[in-house]
Amino acid sequence: MYLRGDPYETSDAVFGVKETLVVSLDTVDAEQAKKYDTKEGAKLITYDFVLVTDEEANQLREEKAMKAMEALGRRMKLYHGLPVPDVD
């Protein structure tokens, strides 16, 4: 998760920044300070993460793999979920 406005936001040496992972720094309000035992005015980051199931990920990975192979003009099949030449 990355902070908005960082001097290296668009030139990460390892290419990791994605717009959906960039967050703005907020401040803790009085209610949150009490609830989470911290100081009002302290910095705050909030984020809602969404995970995909293995099943959803496998299906999408295999779909994309076969599409990419087709685009390369290769006749392939899946072997343990990964493409190999379909020689039969």
Partner 1 sequence: MDLSQVEIPLLKDLTIENITENVHRINSSCPDPRLRYILERLVTHLHDFARETRLSTNEWMTGINFLTEVGQICSDVRQEFILLSDVLGMSLLIDSIDHPKPKSSTEGTVLGPFHTHDAHEEPNGCLIHHDPKGEPCLVLCTLKDTKGNPIEGCKIDVWETDSNGKYDVQYAYREEPDGRAVLMSDKEGYFWFKCIVPIPYPIPHDGPVGKLLKRLKRHPFRPSHIHFMFEKKGYDHLIT
Between 45 and 70, whose beta carbon lies closer to partner 1?
45
Check binding of 54 to partner 1 (CB under 8 A).
yes
Between 8 and 30, whose beta carbon lies closer to partner 1?
8
User: How many residues of this chain interact with partner 1, rule: CB under 8 A?
Assistant: 49
Residues 12-31 that bind partner 1 (CB under 8 A): 12-18, 20-21, 25, 28
Considering only residues 24, 34, 70, 79, which one is a binding residue for partner 1 as defined by CB under 8 A?
Answer: 79
Query: Could you tell me which residues come within 8 angstroms of residue 4 by beta carbon, excluding any fewer than 6 positions away?
Result: 22, 23, 24, 25
Check binding of 37 to partner 1 (CB under 8 A).
yes
Check binding of 73 to partner 1 (CB under 8 A).
no
Query: Could you tell me which residues come within 8 angstroms of residue 2 by beta carbon, excluding any fewer than 6 positions away?
Result: 9, 16, 17, 21, 22, 23
Give per-residue burial for 38-47: e unless 16+ CB within 10 Å, then b: eeeeeebeee
